[in-house]
């Protein structure tokens, strides 16, 4: 092979080990940004601090993401991916109505409770999602469209089947919010309950006890709504 041809082939080869450091840099930024944004929000964190705590060059933020806001959007995309991976294939999700919508409501609410309060989502990712629910920013639409609205519609359909009411009626929408809110509330006010019970973390036994109460509440709420209809 002639010298010029050999040089051309050499130039076409990817640099050995270059791709992995690039992925590591991006991963470091995402992990660090998630932790800092969850605790202080985007406004409370500078790009210089982000880069410093991630141990990367400051220009890496603009190189990989374009801006701090775009980095935050990428962090939220990871949260959405985590939710999707763990909350797919639940009863009533785009499927024909089941024979027992009340049990399906409890299954859906239970899965959200297990996800939010168990170990399938990190504390950091849970805080990021809860922060957006409490104080929506420009990325709230992503969370609403990809997580909250589908879940809300799913429960509304099942609640409507159970009560015989229109799934888009104010009564069913409020009922759905009441049912759905139970799972979210035990995550938002987790620390208050732990302090009242003088414990450090939710235990499997406590989670089962809470879930039992949530299921009983679902039964009572749906039964009352069915009778009123």
Q: What is the pLDDT of residues 22-35, one digit of tens each?
A: 679 999 999 999 99
- 77-228 CATH choice from 3.30.70.1140, 3.40.50.720, 3.30.565.10, 1.10.357.10: 1.10.357.10
CATH code, residues 3-66: 1.10.10.60
Phi-psi region of 165 (alpha: psi -120 to 50; beta: other; left: phi over 0): beta
Residue 190: the pLDDT is 93
Predicted confidence at residue 92, as pLDDT, reads: 46
Instruction: At 203, list the tokens.
Output: 């235990």
- Would 3-66 and 77-228 be classified into the same CATH topology? no
Residue 87: the pLDDT is: 76
Supply angle C-alpha 185, 121, 200, rounded to 5: 65
pLDDT < 70 stretches in the chain = 1-22, 88-98, 229
Give me the pLDDT at residue 1, please.
47
The 10s digit of each residue's pLDDT in 171-185 is: 999 999 999 999 999
Task: Tell me what pLDDT residue 5 has.
Answer: 44
Domain extent listing, the chain: 3-66, 77-228
Angle between helices 149-163 and 170-188 (to 10 degrees): 130
The model's pLDDT over 81-100, given as tens digits with 9 standing for 90+, comes to: 999 888 754 444 444 445 89
pLDDT of 154 reads: 92
């Amino acid at each position: 092979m002639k010298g010029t041809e050999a040089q051309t082939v050499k130039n076409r080869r990817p640099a050995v080990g270059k791709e992995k450091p690039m992925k590591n840099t991006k991963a470091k930024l995402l992990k660090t940004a998630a932790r800092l944004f969850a605790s202080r929000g985007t406004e409370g964190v500078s790009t210089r601090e982000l880069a410093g705590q991630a141990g990367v060059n400051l220009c890496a933020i603009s190189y990989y993401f374009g801006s701090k806001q775009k980095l935050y959007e990428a962090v939220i995309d990871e949260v959405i991916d985590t939710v999707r991976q763990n909350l797919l294939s639940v009863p009533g999700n785009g499927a024909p109505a089941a024979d027992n919508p009340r049990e399906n409501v409890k299954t859906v609410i239970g899965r959200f409770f297990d996800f939010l309060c168990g170990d399938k989502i990190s504390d950091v990712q849970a805080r990021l999602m809860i922060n957006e629910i409490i104080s929506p920013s420009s990325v709230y639409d992503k969370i609403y469209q990809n997580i909250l609205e589908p879940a809300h519609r799913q429960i509304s359909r099942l609640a409507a089947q159970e009560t015989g009411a229109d799934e888009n009626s104010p009564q069913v929408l409020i009922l759905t919010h009441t049912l759905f809110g139970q799972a979210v509330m035990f995550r938002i006010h987790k620390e208050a309950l732990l302090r009242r019970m003088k414990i450090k973390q939710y235990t499997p036994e406590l989670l089962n006890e809470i879930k039992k109460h949530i299921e009983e509440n679902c039964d009572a709420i749906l039964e009352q709504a069915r009778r009123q209809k």
